[in-house]
Structure 1
Amino acid sequence: MDNLYLLFYKRGYKPFIHRWGEESPFIPTEEELDQLIAGCGRKTSTLLLFLKETGARIGEALRLKWIDVDFQRRVVRITAEKGSKPRILPISLRLVEMLNSLPGKAEHVFPSRRSSYIASFLNQRRRLTAKLNNPRLMKITFHTLRHWKGTMEYHRAKDILHVKEVLGHKETP
C-alpha cells in the first residue's frame, strides 16, 4: 500500500490534509473545471461532474449505488461517511444523461477501486494541463470540487448553514 501511495504522490496526487493556519484552499474557475471534465474519459468525467454538482467527498461518490439515483426526480441520495450526514441532492439533466451512459451492471455507480480513478484522473489532468497550457489545472483535486461547490453555494445563498447542509457537515457538539 505504501508503494502505491508513493507512486501516486510522485504523479502529483496530494491527499487533502487540513492544516490549521494555512491559506485558503484553491478555487478554480468554473471554466477550468468544465475544461477538465470535458477533457477526461467518460467514467472520469462523470465522476468529476458528480463531485462538482454535489460537493460529495470522493468516498461518498465511490459508495454511490444505482438505487441511490432517482433519474425521474433528478436527485441522488448521498450515504453518510464518518463525520457527515446523509443528504438528498439535485443533479442536472446533463449528469443524468452521463450516468445513464455508464454500464449499470455493478451495484455501485463507480465500481472501480479508488486507486484506478486517481491514476486515471492524474494522467488525464497532466495531459490537459499541457494541451491547454494552463498550470492551474494541476492544482485541481477531487477535494477541490467540494471546496468549489461550497464556495458557489455560499455565493448563491449567502447562508453558511445552507452550505453546511449541502456538504453534509454534522452539528458540532
Structure 2
Amino acid sequence: MTNGHKNSIGFAYQDWCRWNGFEYTPLRFKRNDKLPYIPSESDIDQLIAGNGKKISCFLQFLKESACRPIEAWRITSEDIDLNQQICYINKPAKGSNPRVFKMSDKLTTMVTRLIRET
C-alpha cells in the first residue's frame, strides 16, 4: 500500500470519526513521488502507425507540435500553409500565446491526404 493511499484512508477515517463525535488525528505519511513513464520515440511511432488515417494524423500532429489536443482539434485548413509546410496555431488553450511551427514532410503528406478526402 502506498503512502498516498495510507493518507487517504487516514483522512477518510478522520471524517468518519468527526461525523460520529470522536476526535482522531491521522498519521501523516510522506509521499514517494516517482517520475512518469515517458515512451520512446519508436513506441510513439508504432502507436501512430497502428491507427487509422485521421487518428494517426492527429497523433503525428501532437508529436511534432507539442500542442494540447484541443488546440489541434481547433485547427482548420486555413491555418495550414502546405506550400511552406507551416502550421499556425491561432486558437491556443489555457491562456497560451498563438504560435507557428514547421511541419515535417511526413505530416504534410498526411494532412494533404486528409484535406483532399474531406
Tell me which interval the TM-score lies in, with the shorter structure as reference length: 0.5 to 0.7
- 3-state secondary structure, aligned to 2:96: coil
The alpha carbon displacement at 1:25 in A equals: 3.2
CA offsets, 1:68-125, max 9 Å, x none? 101111110112212211100011011010001114587xxxxxxxxxxxxxxxxxxx
1:35-74 pair list within 5 angstroms? 35-74=46-85
**Contact 1:66-1:104 at 8 Å conserved across structures:** no
Task: Name the CA shift for 1:24/1:53 in 2 (closer, same or farther; >3 Å).
Answer: same
With CA pairs under 8 Å and 6+ residues apart, which has the higher RCO, 1 or 2?
Answer: 1
Task: Give the match for residue 23 of structure 1.
Answer: 34
Consecutive unaligned residues of structure 2, counting only runs of 5 or more, are: 1-31
For the pair 1:84 / 2:96, whether they are aligned, the reply is yes
Alignment partners' CA distance in 2, 1:91 and 1:105 = 20
What is the RMSD of the two structures over their aligned residues, measured on CA atoms? 1.9
Task: Name the CA shift for 1:75/1:29 in 2 (closer, same or farther; >3 Å).
Answer: same
Give the structure-2-normalised TM-score. Answer: 0.66
Q: Stretches of 4+ moved more than 2 A in 1? A: 21-26, 103-106
Task: Give the match for residue 11 of structure 1.
Answer: none
Q: Which has the higher helix share?
A: 1
Alignment partners' CA distance in 2, 1:77 and 1:23 = 36
* Higher Rg: 2
Alignment partners' CA distance in 2, 1:87 and 1:25 = 27
Moved more, 81-90 or 37-46: 81-90
Corresponding residue pairs, total: 86
Consecutive unaligned residues of structure 1, counting only runs of 5 or more, are: 1-20, 107-173
Give the structure-1-normalised TM-score. Answer: 0.46
CA offsets, 1:45-75, max 9 Å, x none? 0000000000010000000011110111111
Alignment partners' CA distance in 1, 2:38 and 2:81 = 30
